[in-house]
Structure 1
Amino acid sequence: MTLLNSKRLTLFFFIATLISAPFCLKAQEADNKLNLIIDADTANEIDDLYAIVRAILEPKFNLIAISSAQFHTSPLASAQTVKESQAINETLLELMDVTNVSLPIGSNKPLVEYGKPVSSEASQFIIKTAHSMPAGEKLHLVILGSCTNIASAILEDPTIIPKIKVHYLGFWHTPETNAYNKKEFNSGNDPIAVEVLLNTKPLDLNVMTATTSQHLVFTKQNVDRQLKHKEGVAQYLVQRWETYERWWTKDDPEKTQWTMWDVAIIEALARPELSTIEKKRTPPENTQRNIGIHTQIDATEMTRDFWNTLNNL
């Protein structure tokens, strides 16, 4: 081969590399997306709605489904809380013109006996999706309410355990002493299901506690500034804030601010650098193992990131 031909060949491969690089990067980015199912008691409060919209807009997520969860302990609970959550999930996707996310309905009742699942469309969907994961990839399950659907899926088919990673929003926790308080709303809506998650030794489990997520607070003034001039799902979020009546406190009757518990766990998944996760032992009454606990969040940066993302509405 002549020197000229050698140089031409080298130049050819260099150009080919430049052309193919963006396609390789795009494929790598797609491979790095989190395969996600969100399980939400959406009708219980307002933060679920904000968290779901944030998750839909996150390019790092491959949002596969949003399943509905029950919240029977609320003083405002109807006999069909899961259907209320399902209806709002459907409305959110319709308003955002999302057609590629499934909406399996969950159980309307909590577990009544340890070891016995309450099967539902949601639990079956979780099982089927977990088994469809490519080798080496996990299905990330984000629980914004009761643990009923995920615990049932685990009990119905324990072979999914190595294929899933659970992110749970629940109970109170003191990091300094590793003290747990399970008397918290999400945990109270299915205490048996919580025990299933804590006792399932091989389960990959991270918990965003109420203690940590309570520091993420939005103001109505900022919500109005960001959303009130927009239509569609933006107006729906504003309306939900204005019309939902808090039953758990008489403080702040004008609803000038709201704790965004559920947004915290979505932000922590989208921006892991905004949350500190520490390995902690499970409560003494549970199977002893280490789980991940979110012990600190950057609430200011989470708020900024949330609104930057919702600029895309």
Structure 2
Amino acid sequence: MLKKIRRGLLPFMVLAALNACKSQPKPDTERIPLIIDADTANEVDDLFALVRAVNEPKFDLLAITSAQFHTSPYASDSTVAESQEINEHLMALLGRTDIPLPLGSNAPLEASDAPQDSEAARFIVKKAHELEEGRKLQLVILGSCTNVASAILTDSTIVPKMQVNYLGFWHDPVSNRYNKKEFNSGNDSIAVNVLLNRPGLDIRVMTATTSQHLVFHKTRVDAHLKGKGGMADYLVDRWESYERWWTQKDPEKTKWTMWDVALIEALVHPEWTRQKTFETPKENTQRHIQIYTHIDVDQMEKDFWAHINQFVD
């Protein structure tokens, strides 16, 4: 009888062991070493993107750095401090005060050979050098390029150790024409060109042209988040209280473009994207960069809500 019981239990014991292994977090060497640089106080989608990135099993989230956005009509004299404040508050709501939050520069670059020193730039340099041989630090830029460009200008030996994932400018994939008159690019055009002109720097771009198609609707946001307290209501309040200055369309704010979420989702699920290799803009050093030309918006939104449910009671 005992042998029969043991034989009957064996498949269940094996299955339990396999499930236990699956539930274990991946070792750091298998996860993507990531620093997110965000102008979080600028709009709404940055907050949603950060929530999506936190606790993602594929990420080794090393830090969230704060970025400036001085060209906004709402800009104060310390936009980076505003981004920093939201980063700190949001991580507290998520129970992730262990994630480092280095402060970035409050001003854009003044020249292509002059970095803006900041805690964020120094942290990027430090982490790039700490990585094991053969691994690349992934820099995710959701706003201005000031901090990442400053890190490279401070210590160019980090270039082979990093890959830049940039959300910015408009791009026509048919003609390969670039339009840098886009908000993120305009907040530090010198820094954008520092990155594009840097030989050997691995750059992957989620353009505004591609990311504009990921749009969330308020009805669905409310269904998932409204009245749930904590982080959930914080996101809803940000959506409702932030006044869009760039358009008169949709005054009731029934929908919002989730530009930044598109880039985070693309890193988690590259299979939902298409990338192509393009020459850099003609005014820049001629070399190849990768550009996302398509994203599966339905899969990305479904995945976002599946991830965020872990934070909502």
- TM-score normalised by length of structure 2: 0.91
TM-superposed deviation, 1:180: 0.4
- Percent identity, aligned pairs only, is 61
Q: Counterparts in 2 of 1:85-96, with a 5 A limit? A: 85-96=83-94
- Show the counterpart of 1:219: 217
CA distance in 1, matches of 2:25, 2:73: 48
* Residues 189 and 160 of structure 1: CA distance in aligned 2, closer, same or farther (over 3 Å): same
* Residues 32 and 250 of structure 1: CA distance in aligned 2, closer, same or farther (over 3 Å): same
- Show the counterpart of 1:66: 64
TM-superposed deviation, 1:203: 0.3
- Show the counterpart of 1:263: 261
Structure 2 gap segments, 5+ residues each:
1-16
Q: What CA deviation, in whole Å up to 9, does each residue of 1:40-95 have, x standing for no partner?
A: 00000000000000000311111110000000000000000000000000001100
Which amino acid in 2 is paired with 1:291?
A: I
- Is residue 283 of structure 2 the alignment partner of residue 250 of structure 1? no
State whether residues 168 and 206 of structure 1, in contact with CA within 8 Å, keep that contact through their aligned partners in structure 2.
Answer: yes
Which amino acid in 2 is paired with 1:141?
A: L
- Show the counterpart of 2:299: 301
- Show the counterpart of 1:163: 161
SS in 1 for 2:310: coil
State whether residues 39 and 145 of structure 1, in contact with CA within 8 Å, keep that contact through their aligned partners in structure 2.
Answer: yes
State whether residues 274 and 298 of structure 1, in contact with CA within 8 Å, keep that contact through their aligned partners in structure 2.
Answer: yes
SS in 2 for 1:111: coil
Which amino acid in 2 is paired with 1:258?
A: W
TM-superposed deviation, 1:29: 5.1
CA distance in 2, matches of 1:165, 1:188: 22
- Show the counterpart of 2:283: 285
* Residues 309 and 288 of structure 1: CA distance in aligned 2, closer, same or farther (over 3 Å): same
- TM-score normalised by length of structure 1: 0.91
State whether residues 172 and 182 of structure 1, in contact with CA within 8 Å, keep that contact through their aligned partners in structure 2.
Answer: yes
SS in 1 for 2:115: coil
TM-superposed deviation, 1:311: 1.1
Q: What CA deviation, in whole Å up to 9, does each residue of 1:121-167 have, x standing for no partner?
A: 00000000110001111110000000000000000000000111110
State whether residues 88 and 97 of structure 2, in contact with CA within 8 Å, keep that contact through their aligned partners in structure 1.
Answer: no
- Show the counterpart of 2:136: 138
- Is residue 206 of structure 2 the alignment partner of residue 208 of structure 1? yes
CA distance in 1, matches of 2:193, 2:288: 15
- Show the counterpart of 1:232: 230
CA distance in 1, matches of 2:195, 2:131: 21
CA distance in 1, matches of 2:223, 2:18: 43
Structure 1 stretch displaced more, 262-271 or 95-104: 95-104
SS in 2 for 1:262: helix
SS in 2 for 1:37: strand
TM-superposed deviation, 1:20: 11
CA distance in 1, matches of 2:165, 2:116: 20
CA distance in 1, matches of 2:59, 2:124: 17
- Cα RMSD of the aligned pairs, angstroms, is 2.0
- Is residue 121 of structure 2 the alignment partner of residue 119 of structure 1? no
CA distance in 2, matches of 1:21, 1:217: 35
TM-superposed deviation, 1:274: 1.0
- Show the counterpart of 1:102: 100
* Residues 112 and 250 of structure 1: CA distance in aligned 2, closer, same or farther (over 3 Å): same
SS in 2 for 1:98: coil
- Is residue 55 of structure 2 the alignment partner of residue 37 of structure 1? no
* Residues 153 and 256 of structure 1: CA distance in aligned 2, closer, same or farther (over 3 Å): same
Alignment coverage as a number of residue pairs: 298
Structure 1 gap segments, 5+ residues each:
1-18
State whether residues 221 and 256 of structure 1, in contact with CA within 8 Å, keep that contact through their aligned partners in structure 2.
Answer: yes
